[in-house]
């Protein structure tokens, strides 16, 4: 078994913070994979704490437990290198704490709305296909 000795827990905790900010602040129906990742990490971390408690061990609920969250995020990223929604979610979340927050939020909303206008229901697609025959 190979255990990396250079996994910077603090850096992954910071990256996870940005992803969480994205999940909190992103317009509805945007950054869905970032939101799913945050939910998965929260669920897994709670399961770890519950398992400790079940076997009679203390389960830290303070800032020290953040190490578990950070390692879970590293684990998720390592196992899913082709998930661009996580990295873009981190960037979005980081922007929410900066001077460009309003612009980034407006842009995400605008892109979502434009995609909504382009989206067709299956019935609309079928009708369009039938009218082209």
**For residue 33, is it within any domain?**
yes
Do 49 and 65 form a contact (C-beta atoms < 8 A)? yes
Give the pLDDT score at 125. 67
**For residue 2, is it within any domain?**
no
How many Cβ atoms from other residues are within 10 Å of residue 77's Cβ?
18
Confidence of residue 2 (pLDDT cuts 50, 70, 90): low
Distances (CA, A) of 33 to 38, 90, 101, 102: 9, 11, 20, 22
Of the chain, the percentage scoring pLDDT greater than 70 comes to 89
Question: With 70 as the cut, is the pLDDT of residue 32 above it?
Answer: yes
Confidence of residue 132 (pLDDT cuts 50, 70, 90): low
**Angle, vertex CA 12, rays to CA 104 and CA 65, nearest 5:** 115
**For residue 20, is it within any domain?**
yes
Boundaries of domain holding 17: 9-131
List, for residues 72-120, the tens digit of each pLDDT value.
999 999 999 999 999 999 999 999 989 999 999 999 999 998 888 887 6
Q: Exposure string (b/e) for 82-117, b if CB count within 10 Å is 16 or more? A: ebebbeebbebbbbbeeeeeeebbeebeeebeeeee
**For residue 4, is it within any domain?**
no
Give the span between the Cα atoms of 94 and 85, in whole angstroms: 14
How many Cβ atoms from other residues are within 10 Å of residue 9's Cβ?
15
**For residue 35, is it within any domain?**
yes
CB-neighbour burial class of residue 16 (10 A; exposed 0-12, middle 13-18, buried 19+)? buried
Of the chain, the percentage scoring pLDDT greater than 90 comes to 70
Give the count of domains, the chain: 1
Confidence of residue 3 (pLDDT cuts 50, 70, 90): low
């Amino acid at each position: 078994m190979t255990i990396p000795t250079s996994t910077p827990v603090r850096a992954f905790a910071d990256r996870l913070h940005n992803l969480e900010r994205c999940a909190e602040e992103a317009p509805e129906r945007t950054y869905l994979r970032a939101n799913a990742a945050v939910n998965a990490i929260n669920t897994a971390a709670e399961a770890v704490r519950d398992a400790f408690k079940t076997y009679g061990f203390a389960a830290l609920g303070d800032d020290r437990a953040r190490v578990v969250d950070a390692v879970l995020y590293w684990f998720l990223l390592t196992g899913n290198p082709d998930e661009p929604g996580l990295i873009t979610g981190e960037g979005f979340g980081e922007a929410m704490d900066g001077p460009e927050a309003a612009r980034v939020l407006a842009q995400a909303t605008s892109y979502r709305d434009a995609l909504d206008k382009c989206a067709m229901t299956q019935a609309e697609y079928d009708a369009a296909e039938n009218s082209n025959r």
